[in-house]
Amino acid sequence: MAQHQFQTEVSQLLHLIIHSLYSNREIFLRELVSNASDALDKLKYLTVAEEAYKSISFEPRIDISFNKDAKTLTIGDNGIGMNEPDLIESLGTIARSGTKAFLEKLTADVKKDSNLIGQFGVGFYSAFMVAETIEVLSRKAGEEEAWKWTSDGKEGYTIERTPPEALGTPQGTQVILHLTEEGTEYTNRWSIEEVIKRYSNHVAFPIYLTYDEKEYDDKGKEKASKIKTERINSGTALWRRAKSELTEKDYTEFYQQFGHAAEDPLFYIHTKAEGTLEYTTLFYIPQKAPFDLYQVDYKPGVKLYVKRVFITDDDKELMPTWLRFVRGIIDSEDLPLNVSREILQQNKILLNIKNASVKKLLGEFKTLAENQKEKWETFISQFNRPLKEGLYQDFANREALQELVRFKSTTTEGWIGFAGYVSRMKSDQKHIYYITGGDEKTLKASPLLEAYTAKDIEVLIMDDEIDEIVIPSIHKYKEWELKAVNRSGADEELGEKQDKQAEKENKPVLEKLKKALGDRVKEVKLSRRLHDSPSCIVADEHDPSLQMAAMLKAMGQTDMPDIKPILEVNGEHPLVAALKNTEDEQRIADVAGVLLDQALLVEGAKLKDPADFVKRLNRLLVP
């Protein structure tokens, strides 16, 4: 029997695993099944590619069994197997994995490190989370001797020869876990099946579970016992099958099982990439937005597999946040299995897959918009807002997203995009006009639109609060600048000439109103955009709108100063015109207050003092 010491990095890792709180301990079984699958993959290749192995009788399988009384769990395969040098290399050192890089990032904060481990594929060593001692029996294909590796996960391990018949297969590996008290939860059929179906259901080789099925009489006394072996994984990765082999029903059933969904998906996108990078993706778009779509702690919808082995479904780096509604799978041939979350975030292979997947999804969305109107209407009603988030966040894909986002309009029912707006523009129109604020009904009734309506100029209705942030950030659609009609100066492009005489005649009225309103407004101006209404409010070009200011305060910016609007008044309206011939300060104050408050109400703003507004209005109603 030869005694060996663990490599320093292994000792560090084992100490962390055993002594830290590990929140996701069942992945030890995923890791051991993954190792078994790799061993089967290697021998499968050799039996095809190399003469020396072609004579081996090989029916690949993974076997799991447990003994509740002995507190053992065994995972076996008839794959390539290991000899003594392989056992030392594979189980005593860390080679060609992200583990060493992970360890370099460790801190003195054990709790923080244990959380990192929770997202890290620690391979074989993770079994020490549930086992006091581990024995590994292995015989390499084509060799006579079998070996036994034993360790308690502390200082080191032993390796000794063992009878080949102890293994039970001509070649392969058996991992025998002598479980801790906590680990005994994996000595029952249901726990093992649940973990396998969750993590390893699509491993390409059959996984069999052997268990003791007991029968009981009416009084609960055991009357019979029978050893049963049954397959517990599907063994077919649907996303790896050719699209020509699959039906709509196949895709739908897989989505419902995979996504725990009752309804059919809206549509799906199945892609297989070959060449420099080899990977397969299968993405689904749900009929309805996930319930947590707008929650900070949303559950990501894309699972990462490596060679059919599940790695993670809790990594928000697999898709941009604005595509968090996408459900599906990325299965890479090029990523290592034991890749940590931190390394995933920096991994160039995954970044390339991610970028290509985003472009593929955008292309499919565009095709949907052009060819399937009904599905597109459903899609945009559910996911228009995340697409707008993409406009703000994803500069590389901004042009594609500009073709997809939709808005309401003053002249057209339903959703329209920038391209549709431009196609209806007048030949001399230089800008795309839009209005942001409250709900669609309120915006369509805004007095700010009166001059645009009179000139038959379409205005986009942007009633989503995110529009206040997104649209100013993009500035232009192709060569057309975007102009907010609720901004000071937007009326300059209407072609209305400022009436100098009217300015002169109304100057005393404007001064009276400004004096009465004081610091409630930034300025009082004669409006060129009002036809029927007496007043409206606009934001200074350099100030956030009232809605934006309210949003920022709601997001926690409590130190933000009050934003003062600009009040524009219609000099021809009787309520304003009547002020020319009065010096009654109370009446001027009442008219000024009502003009401002009703303009605020029309824009969907809340009045600071509704009672004061009512008093002023009542006084004005008295002849």
- pLDDT single digits (tens) 151-202: 998 888 999 999 999 999 999 999 999 999 999 999 999 999 999 988 888 8
Q: Quick check: pTM over 0.85? A: no
Distance CA 505, CA 499 (A): 10
Residue that wins the pLDDT comparison between 561 and 312: 312
314 vs 610: which has the higher pLDDT? 610
111 and 205 belong to one structural domain: yes
pLDDT at 57: 86
Give a yes or no: residue 380 inside a domain: no
**Helix (H) / strand (E) containing 352:** helix 348-371
Domain containing residue 405: CATH number: 3.40.50.11260
Q: Identify the domain boundary among 494, 510, 538.
A: 494
Q: Which of 509, 400, 406, 490 is nearest to 451 (CA)?
A: 490
Mean pLDDT of 321-342: 83
CB contact burial 567-599 (16+ within 10 A = b; e otherwise):
bbbbbebeebbebeeeeeeebbbbbbbbbbbbb
Residue ending a domain, choose from 437, 471, 494: 494
Distance CA 205, CA 61 (A): 6
Write down the pLDDT at residue 162: 96
What per-residue confidence (pLDDT) applies to 355?
95
Q: Does pLDDT of 114 surpass 60?
A: no
Across the chain, mean pLDDT equals: 86
Q: CATH code at 517? A: 1.20.120.790
Q: Is residue 522 part of a domain?
A: yes
Domain boundary among 373, 405, 425: 373
> Is 216 among the domain residues?
yes
Distance CA 124, CA 131 (A): 12
Task: Answer whether residue 425 is part of any domain.
Answer: yes
Residue 207 near residue 233 (C-beta atoms within 8 A) = yes
The structural domain count of the chain equals 4
301 and 212 together in one domain = no
Whether 39 and 125 map to the same domain: the answer is yes
Same-domain check for residues 517 and 610 = yes
Model confidence pLDDT, tens digit, residues 440-465 = 888 898 899 998 998 899 999 999 98
- CA of residue 398 relative to chain centroid, distance: 18
The CATH number of the domain holding residue 17 is 3.30.565.10
For residue 72, the cross-strand partners are 67, 178
The mean per-residue pLDDT over the stretch 472-490 comes to 87
Q: Are residues 558 and 479 in the same domain?
A: no
Q: What confidence score (pLDDT) does residue 567 get? A: 93
Confidence band of 7 (pLDDT split at 50, 70, 90):
confident
Instruction: Evaluate whether residue 378 is within a structural domain.
Output: no
Is there a single domain that holds both residue 530 and residue 556?
yes
pLDDT at site 89: 85
* Pairing, β 566-569 against β 523-526: parallel
54 in the same domain as 165: yes
Report in angstroms the alpha-carbon separations of 107 from 14, 18, 20, 102, 114: 16, 17, 13, 11, 10
Indicate if 359 and 395 belong to the same structural domain. no
* In a domain? residue 385: no
Helix (H, G, I), strand (E, B) or coil at 525: strand
**Domain with 284 in it:** 248-373
Give the pLDDT confidence of 42-74 residue by residue, as tens digits: 898 888 878 899 889 899 999 999 999 999 999
pLDDT, mean of residues 300-325: 87
pLDDT in tens, 246-256: 999 899 988 88
Residue 147 vs residues 3, 101, 174, 245, 298: alpha-carbon distances, Å? 14, 31, 11, 44, 48
Residue 148 confidence (pLDDT) above 60:
yes
**DSSP helix/strand/coil, 360:** helix
**Which pLDDT tens digit goes with each residue over 508-522?**
999 999 999 999 999
Of 604, 607, 584, 585, residue with least CA distance to 594: 607
In a domain, 239, yes or no: no
Per-residue pLDDT reduced to its tens digit, 359-406: 999 999 999 999 999 999 999 999 999 999 999 999 999 999 999 999
Q: Which pLDDT score, from 0 to 100, does residue 500 have?
A: 74
